[in-house]
Structure 1
Amino acid sequence: MEYVIVGVLGLALGLLLLLWQRGRWLAENARLTQQVAGLSAQLEQETHQAEAKQALLREAEQHLADAFNALSAQALARNNQAFLDLARQNLAVFQEAARGDLAARQQAVESLVKPLAEELAKLAGQTQSLEKARAESHGQLSEQLKGLLSAQQDLRGETGRLVNALRRPEVRGRWGEVQLKRVVEMAGMLDRCDFYEQEVAADGKRPDMLVRLPGGKTLVLDSKAPVAAFLEAAEALDDGARGRALERFAQHVRTHIQQLSQKAYWEQFEDAPEFVVMFLPGESFFSAALQQDPALIEYASERKVILATPTTLLALLKAVYYGWRQESLADNARQVSELGAQLYERLAKLGEHWASVGKNLGQAVKAYNEATGSLESRVMVSARKFEELHVAPEGKKLPELNPVEQAPRALQLVEGQGSDTRFPSLS
């Protein structure tokens, strides 16, 4: 509808601009036409004056002829031809002067009228171009308006079909569940499979969704919000009918809150918080109900029902998702602690074996040093006497037997080593 209003305003503004420009052109045309008419009248007046002068000349010629006729026939006969010739000469000169003046005036008038005629021709061409452009713009605007009207009719038809479909309770319930599932997907809870749809309680009551909370808790959600009256308000043709439908919608929401409170889902599921979340599938539903019944939030809270829109439910599920992440991190920390304890125990056992190896190496060094001392003091002393007696082969000397001075480094084991050694818990 807004596009139609904008299109109509644009058409009206274009028509006003065209009418204003056309008025200017008509005023300019009238001014130029009036100026041409004035110049034409002036030309006609001067033409009449020239004709009057010619008439006067003809009348003067007639008077001269009559005067000459009054003279004696003899004198007239002698001088008639001479006077007539002179008169003709004078008349020719006068007529020539009159013709030159008339031609000059006509040329001056034409020099004034010609630019006006050219401007009028240009104005006529511009008027035709503007009229053509206006017709094309009007045609395009008409096509756009037709397109907008067609789109609006299609949208109205789709809206009507949607409203008719949502009048069916099972369709409304399924639509609410779909909206609920979309919010869960956006919160990241779908991939973790932390929610359950259409689960039946022990007494046959069925909530729309259960969200598993960290620590084995369960959060109950209901999406069967009564929206039929709200849809009737959307189809209402006047404010009175719309207001009455919205009042019924708020009353239906209050009644549904009372029914959820009586069902007491938190008593049907173990470790469930003592409240149930009532999901409204759109922000407009919540605002309309709250506008008609400002105390609706307090009423629901007193009955252990929390009203949630897609926005608030998304925030709630994001918090639950964060709790699950913290739970997962805690589980990982416990596993790391257990693995650390196992690794520590194995390192302690390896340390014991390593200390045993060092101890054995120390005993071997001690035995080697004792054997070396005995060999040096008892055997090698007697053997070196062969060198003094020059009995030993040349170039062959008995080596010096030195004891091993370095002992294996003792391994410092942590107190409490053994099978009972554990890392402190990280949980």
Structure 2
Amino acid sequence: MLTAVIIVLSLLLLILAIVTGALWVSRKHLSSQISSLVIERDQAREQAKISGEQTSDLKTQLELARQELTQKTQAFEDAQKQAKDTFASLANETLNKTSEQFLQLAKKSLESENKDATAALEQRKQAIESMLKPIREQLEQHAKAVTEMEKNREGAYQGLRQQITNLLESQQHLSQTTTQLSTALKGSSASRGRWGELALRRIVELAGMVNYCDFDEQVSIWKGNEQQRPDMVVHLPSDRNIVIDSKAVGESYLKAMEMDDEQQRTELIKQHANQIESRVRDLSRKDYTSGFTNAPDFVVLFIPGDSFLPPAMQAKPSLVEDALSRGVVIATPSTLVSLLKVVAMGWREQQLAENAQKVTEQATVLHERVATVIGHMEKLGKSLDTAVGHYNKMTSSFESRVLVSTKRLEEMGIKSAKTLPEALPELEATPRELRSTENGES
């Protein structure tokens, strides 16, 4: 047990020696380390002193650098802001100028197109007006001509009715004045001739004819060296003429009417027929028709009394046929009025035909001018259609090339106070084509 204690103590002493040795070594080492550390401390202090000075300088430099950085940052921000503002201003100004220049260019182009179109339209308008003016005049003349034709036609019918009434009144008047005429016919040959001329003039006036226009009295013509003077020349349409000579051959007839003896009356009626036949031969020999151009191949022998011819035809039935074979037409007041009525109506019909021909000619001219105006209107419509097409092409080009770039500037925040449209309006209207229908509507 003691041994164990000794061993334990030995071990403890050994451990203590070891520990002491270790502590001594450690102390020596620690002393050495402490010396080193002191030296290092001193060096560190010296270095720290130097570092402190450097740190102070560095702090000063750092502060200066910070201040310089702050200034540069502020200057950069100011420059960036100024550059941004300048760029925005320049962009807006450029955009405004570009937009303004484009708008001015577009305006000038549109004004030029509009001016040209307006000038062309004005020229077309003036041309159409200049062409429509004679058309209006032609239409007015056509309307006047048609109205005048209707008035003339109505006037002709009204005049015919009035003239028939006048003829009946004249017939009654002639019947009432038979006694007075018989007295005149029993007078001299000059008085009978004068009465025949007055009766002839009265008849042509009743027929609606006008002196020096539809007929002439006592016209002198020359046949070789011989002067002839028929009582009246009636003018026909187409420059034709009818020669009328009045013969008052009623003396024997009036005497026969006063006779109670039938044989004497018959003899006087034969004398009356012979007197008419003698006048027919005289007119046939005078050959009045050869003195007029376009004259018919007959002459009218006017007997101023409807009652004078029937008794003569009873006494000589071939009297009228023989007269016609000699180129002489025997006419009494009633038959002469009918003949002159036909002549007067022929004049009116010729005037109506001439008016109708003029209307036809004017209508032809009107149709031609209307066709010409329609041609100009079609050309004008095509020009307007072309102008609309050019405008739509320009707006399409502006939208696809200029407006898109401008929209991109807006997306970058570069824009003015004005708002750009999404798209320019497109003209879709086209000129209406002319067309006609059966009922005249278009």
TM-score (norm 2): 0.53
Shift in alpha-carbon separation, 1:317–1:159, aligned structure 2, 3 A: closer
Q: Which position in structure 2 is the counterpart of 1:145? A: none
Secondary structure, aligned partner of 1:284: coil
Q: Aligned residue for 1:195?
A: 215
Following superposition, the deviation at residue 228 of structure 1 comes to: 2.3
- Which amino acid counterpart does residue 176 of structure 1 have in structure 2? G
Q: Distance in 2 between matches of 1:252 and 1:193?
A: 33
Picking from 268, 289, 293, the partner of 2:316 is 293
Kept in 2: contact 1:386–1:392 (CA 8 A):
yes
- CA drift of 1:251 comes to 0.9
CA distance in 1, matches of 2:259, 2:413: 136
Q: Residues 252-331 of structure 1 correspond to what in structure 2 (within 5 A)?
A: 252-331=275-354
> Structure 1: which amino acid aligns with 2:352?
L
Q: 1:268 to 1:316 in 2, by over 3 A?
A: same
Out of 415, 419, 430, which is 1:407 matched to? 430
CA contact (8 A) 2:184 2:192 kept: no
Q: In the alignment, which of 220, 240, 252 is matched to residue 229 of structure 1?
A: 252
Is the counterpart of residue 212 in structure 1 residue 235 in structure 2?
Answer: yes
Deviation readout 1:148-170 (Å, 9 max, x if unpaired):
xxxxxxxxxx9579625652222
Deviation string 1:403-422 (CA, Å, 9 cap, x unpaired) is 32343345589xxxxxxxxx
Per the TM alignment, residue 198 of structure 1 is displaced from its structure 2 partner at its CA by: 1.0
The alignment partner of 2:424 has SS state of coil
Residues in 2 aligned to 1:161 and 1:298: alpha-carbon distance in whole angstroms: 28
Residue 391 of structure 1, CA deviation:
4.5
CA–CA distance in 2 between the matches of 1:161 and 1:357? 80
Q: Check 1:196–1:402 CA distance in 2 against 1; reply closer, same or farther (3 A cut).
A: same
Which entry has the higher C-alpha Rg, 1 or 2?
2
- 1:201-253 per-residue CA deviation (whole Å, 9 max, x = no partner) reads 22311111111111111111111242222233244464443332222111111
Asked if the contact 2:247–2:304 (Cα under 8 Å) also holds between the matched residues in 1, the reply is: no
Matches within 5 A, 1:350-361: 350-361=373-384
CA contact (8 A) 2:182 2:254 kept: no
* One-letter amino acid of the counterpart of residue 201, structure 1: I
The superposition leaves residues 128-153 of structure 1 with CA deviations (integer Å, 9 ceiling, x where unpaired) of xxxxxxxxxxxxxxxxxxxxxxxxxx
Q: Distance in 1 between matches of 2:218 and 2:370?
A: 53
Alignment match, 2:391: 368
Q: Secondary structure at the match of 1:215?
A: helix
Q: Within 2, Cα distance between the matches of 1:330 and 1:292?
A: 45
CA–CA separation in structure 1 for the residues paired with 2:267 and 2:307: 17
Q: Which residue of 2 aligns with 1:163?
A: 183
Between the aligned partners of 1:213 and 1:165, the Cα distance in structure 2 is 32
What is the Cα deviation at residue 268 of structure 1?
Answer: 1.5
Q: Secondary structure at the match of 2:430?
A: coil
SS in 1 for 2:222: coil
Offset from partner CA, 1:44-98 (integer Å, 9 cap, x none): xxxxxxxxxxxxxxxxxxxxxxxxxxxxxxxxxxxxxxxxxxxxxxxxxxxxxxx
CA deviation map 1:13-57 (0-9, x unaligned): xxxxxxxxxxxxxxxxxxxxxxxxxxxxxxxxxxxxxxxxxxxxx
Task: Please name the residue that 1:38 is paired with.
Answer: none
Superposition map of 1:380-399 within 5 A:
380-392=403-415, 396-399=419-422
Where in structure 2 are there 5+ consecutive unaligned residues?
Answer: 1-177, 437-442
* Structure 2 Cα separation of the partners of residues 399 and 336 of structure 1: 61
Q: Structure 1 residues 246, 405: CA separation in 2 closer, same or farther (over 3 Å shift)? A: same
TM-score, length of structure 1 as denominator length: 0.55
Looking at structure 1, the residues matched to 428 and 180 of structure 2 have their Cα atoms a distance apart, in angstroms, of 102
* The 10-residue stretch of structure 1 (165-174 or 254-263) with the greater mean CA deviation from structure 2: 165-174
Secondary structure of 2:238's aligned partner = coil
Pair 1:333-2:356 in alignment: yes
Which residue of the partner structure matches residue 201 of structure 2? Answer: 181
Aligned residues: CA RMSD: 2.7
2:399 aligned counterpart, secondary structure: helix
Counterpart residue type for residue 196 of structure 1? D
Structure-2 change in CA distance of 1:161 and 1:216 (3 Å): closer
> Counterpart in 2 of 1:245?
268
1:74-153 superposed matches below 5 A:
none
Give distance in 2, aligned partners of 1:161 and 1:395.
Answer: 111
